[in-house]
Structure 1
Amino acid sequence: MSQEKKISCSSSEKEELQDKQILVNNEFCEENGIGDLTFIVENHKIPVSKTVLCIASPVFRTMLKGHFREKTETEIPLPGKSYESFVEFLRCIYPDKTKKVKEKNVYMLLPLAHEYNVEKMMKRCQKVIMQIIKNRHTRNVEELYRHIRLAELYSIEEMKERCIYLASENTLKQFKAARTMYQISDANYLTIIELALRRKELDKDDEKGLSLIKKESNDFFIDQVTFTLKGKIDMREKASTRCLKSLRLAERFNIQFDKSKLLDTLRHSYNKIKDNEEFDLLPDTIKSALKN
């Protein structure tokens, strides 16, 4: 049930709120209905507890307990903030509310979690968004660029790196089109291009181990990959290198076969190859399979 009520601003209210009708949200007050600080967001007043804010956020703690003017203020305007987003943020940090970060609210909470340095909320936002990317956006370059931009703004390195690698699996035309929508940094754009070029180099190198038997077949490339997976590659290479090459070729030409032995071989040497460039450049579907 809504805890908001209408009141009229007096002449002592701050200039931007004069002569306006505002709402008061009392859901974050103490049991007696009193808060020791009031935020003014859009056309709303939100009485809150300084104690709760200081426990949840080091930024609020510095603001309200340090040598800043906010320490003695009873009302603090928050211009530029969305009332809906800020209330959702408070509901997530108040111990008697403990609302969870979910797909529905994660994008409105992320900027506030970053601004007020609420570490647990930031981690939860990152986890939820990473799952959204995995479920919906691995092949959507525009969405990947959007999330790279978010990662740049809010310093989420893991998300940025994952989206960069996923984006690099696509084409130059897609890269350019996505950048007209979301202006990611030059450095990250260059990294995507470099990774895409490195993938092409690996593809070319993989082709050296392909058998040329049945060249006249309409299924020429499928025959090549089939022969490669039967062992027509340089056996002097390390086992993990052969597995990586075979998995890349199978994914590239959409060959359906039981990959369990290849994946098991890589799992046994996972700690040795996880920082290897070739492992990083594996298609995302293979990486996911290795983690299962």
Structure 2
Amino acid sequence: MKTNMKQDSRFTQSDGMTSSIVFYIENRKLFASKEVLALCSPVFRNMFESDFRERSADSIPLPGKCYKDFAEFLLCLYPDTQKPLTDETVFPVFSLADEYQVDILQRKCEDYLLSKCKDKDTPLTALVNILICAEQYNLKNLFNASFDKVSKIHPDEVKSVPEYHKLHEETRSSFKKLREQALDVKLTDGNVHDVLRIAVDYSEMDLIIRCESHMIQRCRKTEKPLIHGLVSMLSAADKHKLAKLKEEVLELAIKRKSHELEASPIFKTLTPETRCKVLSKRLRIFEGLYSKLCKVRCHCCRKHADYNCKICFISTTKECFDSLGMCF
């Protein structure tokens, strides 16, 4: 608390030693050090060392500046305060850091905004403002990071942000082209999983439904998917909450050997609930098979299933498996 109070009053009065210049901003005095400013900023250095009238002046008016923003800029700049950036201060501080060519503070602002791009909880409005900032200062890494995040949000949501119109026309056109390229694709067994991920990223429900339908049709073909393909579809249904696909794939999965399913690396990434559902359904099938086997008359022994008779065991078990479409 004391530190915040000290920072809030840091430039409001002269302390003699470190107050060699006074700025007049919004009819208020802001006391600062020429030495510190000249050390950090080539703009201030030129101002204080060249033939500008500010060289010999004890006070300098800064018309058009915001007192609060300039004080925040100095608090972030001064070595004895090094105030952390916040969502509220980063943009005005960035603007002043750019104007006065304070490279170290510019990099600090860019790093802060890059971290916001990686944060999944960053609001859309903030992401659009970050993209505008990247355009304004020609920051390639920040532009790519923020563009990637914004491009995956539905266009209607993006356009509803008031600041959207401030983006360059080229950037807005790039959003449209990228989306069209991502969504205009012919589905195949080979690309359907990648397309589904893109459709989910772009919140494109029509394409998500197309992908789900494609995989359901694949499940219904005479030639059933291999274990890898089967488990991949189950994983997609699990991850993207595709209920119809999940139901269809489960019906196939429970008819495959459990050790084959569990040997798949993808199977291990399924939610515990889904893995349990597959194995518990298989267990219920085997319970039903056991009851059926016990009632099947052994044709070679002429009595109820005698499991000491290998011919009886194999023939009756295979019959039960075949009736359920499973492999014995």
Normalised by the length of structure 1, the TM-score is 0.60
What amino acid is aligned across from residue 50 of structure 2 in structure 1?
A: G
| Mapped partners of 1:205, 1:3: distance in 2 | 60
1:96 corresponds to: 80
Q: How does 1:198-209 map to 2 (within 5 A)?
A: 198-201=181-184, 203-204=185-186, 209=191
Structure 1's 210 and 35: CA in aligned 2 closer, same or farther, altered over 3 A? closer
The 3-state SS of whatever aligns with 1:76 is strand
2:29 corresponds to: 45
Q: How far did residue 66 of structure 1 move?
A: 2.5
1:57 corresponds to: 41
Q: How far did residue 146 of structure 1 move?
A: 2.3
Structure 1's 225 and 36: CA in aligned 2 closer, same or farther, altered over 3 A? farther
| Mapped partners of 1:73, 1:225: distance in 2 | 80
The 3-state SS of whatever aligns with 1:146 is helix
| Mapped partners of 1:112, 1:91: distance in 2 | 12
Residues 148, 164 of structure 1: 8 Å contact kept: yes
2:293 corresponds to: none
Q: How far did residue 86 of structure 1 move?
A: 1.0
Residues 13, 30 of structure 2: 8 Å contact kept: yes
Say whether 1:70 aligns with 2:70.
no
Residues 37, 75 of structure 1: 8 Å contact kept: yes
What amino acid is aligned across from residue 49 of structure 1 in structure 2?
A: S
| Mapped partners of 1:3, 1:230: distance in 2 | 61
Aligned equivalent of 1:156, options 139, 159, 162: 139
1:220 corresponds to: 213
Q: How far did residue 102 of structure 1 move?
A: 3.6
1:280 corresponds to: none
Aligned equivalent of 2:228, options 227, 230, 236: 230
What amino acid is aligned across from residue 174 of structure 2 in structure 1?
A: T
The 3-state SS of whatever aligns with 1:70 is helix
Structure 1's 81 and 207: CA in aligned 2 closer, same or farther, altered over 3 A? farther
Say whether 1:128 aligns with 2:128.
no
Q: Which has the higher contact order (CA 8 A, sep 6+)?
A: 1
Q: CA RMSD in A?
A: 4.0
Q: How does 1:1-292 map to 2 (within 5 A)?
A: 1=5, 25-26=12-13, 29-31=15-17, 35-136=19-120, 141-178=124-161, 181-201=164-184, 203-204=185-186, 209=191, 220-221=213-214, 223=216, 227=225, 230-231=228-229, 253=240
What amino acid is aligned across from residue 163 of structure 1 in structure 2?
A: S
Structure 1's 254 and 48: CA in aligned 2 closer, same or farther, altered over 3 A? same
| Mapped partners of 1:121, 1:56: distance in 2 | 9
Residues 22, 59 of structure 2: 8 Å contact kept: yes
Residues 117, 149 of structure 2: 8 Å contact kept: no
The 3-state SS of whatever aligns with 2:171 is helix
| Mapped partners of 1:173, 1:228: distance in 2 | 40
Q: How far did residue 184 of structure 1 move?
A: 0.5
Per-residue Cα deviation, 1:15-56 (whole angstroms, up to 9, x for no partner): xxxxxxxxx8126x444xx63221111121122221110111
Residues 168, 192 of structure 1: 8 Å contact kept: yes
Q: Which one has the bigger helix percentage? A: 2
What amino acid is aligned across from residue 204 of structure 1 in structure 2?
A: K
| Mapped partners of 2:226, 2:72: distance in 1 | 55
Residues 37, 48 of structure 1: 8 Å contact kept: yes
Residues 145, 182 of structure 1: 8 Å contact kept: no
| Mapped partners of 1:190, 1:200: distance in 2 | 16
Structure 1's 134 and 39: CA in aligned 2 closer, same or farther, altered over 3 A? same
Which protein is bigger by CA-based radius of gyration? 2
Query: How many residue pairs end up in the alignment?
Result: 219
| Mapped partners of 1:68, 1:30: distance in 2 | 24
Q: How far did residue 90 of structure 1 move?
A: 1.1
What amino acid is aligned across from residue 100 of structure 1 in structure 2?
A: P
The percent of aligned pairs where both chains have the same amino acid is 26
Structure 1's 35 and 205: CA in aligned 2 closer, same or farther, altered over 3 A? same
What amino acid is aligned across from residue 45 of structure 2 in structure 1?
A: R
